[in-house]
Amino acid sequence: MITPDILNALRQHKMIGKRFMQIIATNRELAWCWAIHISGEPFPQGEPAIAEDAMTAFDYSRWVLQEPWPMGEPAISKSTRFAYKYAKWVLNGPFPAGEEAISKDAAASLGYADVLKRPFPKGEPAIMVSPRQAEVYAEMILKRPWPEAEPYIARDNDALRHYLSFIGGLRCREKYPEAKQRFEDLLARIQKQDDINF
């Protein structure tokens, strides 16, 4: 692990030998540390090592290159967290190579749909089973009731309250006439359950 003492020692050395730079360039953590914390500049010799890991590849792309980095995308695309962050903070748009990983997590899928500014069908199975993410997805992304997710939303009182407010709201009723009936049906069904109290 790179400690602050090691970082400070490296910062103070103006002349570092070629052999030392070769060692840094071949070690993922050292190469990442050099590029991010010491030089703050692209480090071409260390890029193959940096590209091996999703976190180091994302950080290098975002903070050093400040642009998409195709060499790091294979590692990034395998990480739910960093594939979503790469789409949001580096690409500012779709990252097709990372969608499989993103789709496995409700929060990442919801965030990715927000990046896309449209529904993310591949991530809906993960979003649906997470009550709060499902409620937000219905309101902010789908902008309509989401009947398939209602049994899951009903498992969380706060998510259910927000969802009922959304589908019972005037804006939604005007745009989706069936929402009023869905609201009344869902409310009646819920009132019959003993475990949900308003």
Q: Which tokens is 153 given?
A: 């939303």
* HSE of 45, CA atoms in CB hemisphere, 13 A: 13
Is 0.75 topped by the overall pTM? Answer: yes
Give residue 187's pLDDT band: very low, low, confident or very high (50, 70, 90).
confident
**CA nearest 27: which of 41, 13, 46?**
46
- Which are the contacts of 104, defined by CB distance < 8 A and separation ≥ 6? 80, 126
Q: In angstroms, rounded to a whole number, what is the distance separating the alpha carbons of residues 134 and 140? A: 10
The mean pLDDT of 118-125, rounded to a whole number, is 98
Q: In angstroms, rounded to a whole number, what is the distance separating the alpha carbons of residues 69 and 57? A: 8
Give domain limits for the chain: 1-79, 124-198
pLDDT tens-place string over residues 146-171: 999 999 998 998 998 899 888 877 56
Q: Are 129 and 105 in contact (CB under 8 A)?
A: no
Q: Say yes or no to pLDDT of 103 above 80.
A: yes
Q: In angstroms, rounded to a whole number, what is the distance separating the alpha carbons of residues 124 and 31? A: 38
Amino acid occupying residue 61: S
What is the model's pLDDT at position 24? 87
- Return mean pLDDT, the chain: 87
Q: Say yes or no to pLDDT of 19 above 80.
A: no
pLDDT tens-place string over residues 50-99: 999 999 999 999 999 999 999 999 999 999 999 999 999 999 999 999 99
